[in-house]
Amino acid sequence: MLVLSRKKGESIMVGDQIEVKILAVEGDQIKLGILAPKSVKVHRSEIFEAIQEQNKEALATSPNLLSKLKKNK
């Protein structure tokens, strides 16, 4: 893991298209701004994990159930 110190208004670059900027420091929280191409998905880690879990559940769905749902339309 790379650990960097940054002050308000400073930023770091991830590759040549993603910039992470420190917008504010308030107590024990910081506010980050992330500039990235629309093709790059940016999520908080807890949201990313929920999406991954939903994807796993969708993959585990029985093909028979999908066929039944299709027939009911």
pLDDT of 20 above 70: yes
pLDDT of 73 above 70: no
> Over 11-46, what HEC string results?
EEEECCCEEEEEEEEECCEEEEEEECCCCCCCCCHH
pLDDT tier, 58 (very low <50, low <70, confident <90, very high otherwise): confident
Contact 46, 56 (CB under 8 A): no
- As given in the structure block, the two tokens for residue 14 are 């991830």
Name which of 18, 57, 63, 60 is nearest 39 in CA terms.
18
